[in-house]
A and B are shown apart, each in its own frame.
Chain A
Amino acid sequence: MSKPEESASSIQTVGVIGEGQMGTSIFYSLADSSYSLRWIGSENADIPRLQHNFEKKIRRALKTGIMSQEQHDQILRQTIITNDLNVTADCDLVIEAIPEELPIKQTLFTALNDIVKPSGILASNSSSINPSNLFTGTKRDDRIIGMHYFYPVPLKESVELVTTCSTASDVRANVVEFLHNSGKFILELNESNSFILNKIYFDIQNEAYKIAEQGKATVEQLDLLVKEGLFPLGLFDFMDHIGIDTMLNSVKNYVSCYPQKDTYSGLLKRLQGMVDEGNLGRKSGAGFYRYQESQQITPHAVDPLPEETAGEIIQFLRFTYLSAAKRFTMLSGCTTGEMNQAIREYLGIEKGPFE
């Protein structure tokens, strides 16, 4: 988490756009620093509510001694919460965290391009859209960058930093400094190999879905196997948690530049069908699982797979995981140490794939 004395960098005024889960998490991860912050919600955002909640948190931090009176007053003075995009005019850095839909993001970035001062850096928290797709052909092409945070931002150190072939060296350096000051661990990637943590996990999810599609195991059996032998969260449980619609948009974006699209067609079709039916995961009450008031209705009993089948499946999924991790590590140019650290945190596991 950023500390006031650590933020003496070229980036002093930061805009965060979006009042969803990620936008809120990014804003609050920066809120106790000395940055001048502008938090911009959508047209439909309840700005008085956002302001009220923010002031409540700051007041409580003062009351509990986490923050001094001086810090409290300073933070209140230098924070603006609004849905007026014009407050980003003096921002050194603007971080977008709005829904994962390209046209909406492009409209936003076109507007920001006209509003934000020429030296301002425009960053996207997208988990699947490369920054150069947000807009091109302007004088600001060298000041666009991808900053993919993970939720919850204060707990997750990793950030995927995605540079384009036009990103200026000072932009990269300033953002790296900003992230280091925020205590973040940076995975530096280029656009041809971006968002690798999600892509590694997606490869495993895709292979697991094929197993389910072939009738060798159910979704519940696969999640149970994975939780027993690989990761703390089930592969399909994860998709429900993220949201099937978000997952579908991300997967479409990944697959669009993959040579063998057919490999992913089964899962894509299933996700599209679920979205069409309104089964968006935990938030809608149904996805791969069913939910009541956001709580998963656990199947009473999941029939255990024959030992041999279970062993074969987990061995296959482990191989898929290691193979994907190796492939994306080589493509990205990251070290195995960097990947171990990032994957450990991303998947909540004790040891990375190369440990």
Chain B
Amino acid sequence: MAQITENTRNEVKEVVYDFFADECEVDVSEISDQTNIIKDLDGDSLMFLELIEVFKKKYSLEIELKTIGKYAVKNPVQTIGELIDMQMLIIEHEDRILELA
């Protein structure tokens, strides 16, 4: 389980914002926690999966994609803020995230 610090959310937020700015070719200033990933950024599940890989690497997480898939079916995210919240839960709970579902 990764150590959660005060900076963790800021780190996650920065990575998520940079990721969507790069992928969707918009300025990072155009993204907020309220931005809708599908409606505003034309995002898709491939983007979500790539982000998961980034965080798995960054925080040495032990969690399978299918586990995240199961969690996401029950707890779908729509906005950037919700995605950041989910990433925080994944970092904190890793494979045990399903116990929260």
Residue positions of A touching B, CB distance < 8 A: 1, 24-25, 28, 56-57, 60-61, 64-66, 151-152, 154-157, 232-233, 293-295, 345, 348
| Residue B100, interface by CB 8 Å | no
Closest 3 pairs (CB-CB, A-B): A348-B73, A155-B69, A152-B45
Q: List 28 A-B contacts (CB under 8 A).
A: A56-B23, A60-B19, A60-B22, A60-B23, A61-B50, A61-B53, A65-B57, A65-B58, A66-B54, A151-B45, A152-B49, A154-B46, A154-B49, A154-B65, A155-B45, A155-B49, A155-B65, A155-B66, A156-B66, A232-B74, A233-B73, A293-B39, A294-B38, A294-B39, A295-B39, A345-B66, A348-B69, A348-B70
Contacts A65-B57, A154-B65, A155-B66 given; indicate if A57 touches B39 (C-beta within 8 A).
no
Partner of A60, one of B50, B65, B69, B70: B50
Given contacts A56-B22, A294-B38, A345-B66, contact A64 B58 (CB under 8 A): yes
| Known A155-B45, A233-B73; further 6 A-B contacts with Cβ < 8 A | A60-B50, A66-B53, A152-B46, A155-B65, A294-B38, A348-B69
- Taking the closest CB of chain A, its distance from the CB of B63, in whole angstroms, is 12
* Chain A proximity of B59: nearest CB distance (Å): 12
Are A156 and B69 in contact, with the CB atoms below 8 A? yes
Q: Which of B35-75 contact A (CB under 8 A)?
A: 38-39, 45-46, 49-50, 53-54, 57-58, 65-66, 68-70, 73-74
Q: Give bound CA distance, A158 to B39, whole Å.
A: 29
Contact A157–B39 (Cβ < 8 Å): no
Task: Identify the B interface with A (CB < 8 A).
Answer: 19, 22-23, 38-39, 45-46, 49-50, 53-54, 57-58, 65-66, 68-70, 73-74
Give the chain A neighbours of B49 by CB distance below 8 A.
Answer: 152, 154-155
Report Cα–Cα, A246/B54, bound state, in Å: 34
Give A157 to B74 CA distance when docked, in angstroms.
18
- Chain B residues positioned under 8 Å from A345 (CB to CB): 66
Chain A residues closer than 8 Å to B45, beta-carbon distance: 151-152, 155
User: Min CB distance, B43 to chain A, in Å?
Assistant: 11
| CB-based nearest B residue for A60 | B22
State A57–B22 Cα separation when bound (angstroms). Answer: 9
Q: Which of B19, B22, B46 contacts A28 (CB 8 A)?
A: B46
Q: Output the least CB separation between B79 and chain A (Å).
A: 12
Inter-chain contacts of A293 with B (CB < 8 A): 39
Contacts of A57 in B (CB 8 A): 23, 50
With A66-B53, A294-B39: A157-B22 Cβ-Cβ less than 8 Å: no
Nearest neighbor of B68 in chain A, beta-carbon distance: A155
- Give the interface centre of B19, B54, B58 by most chain A CB atoms within 10 Å: B54
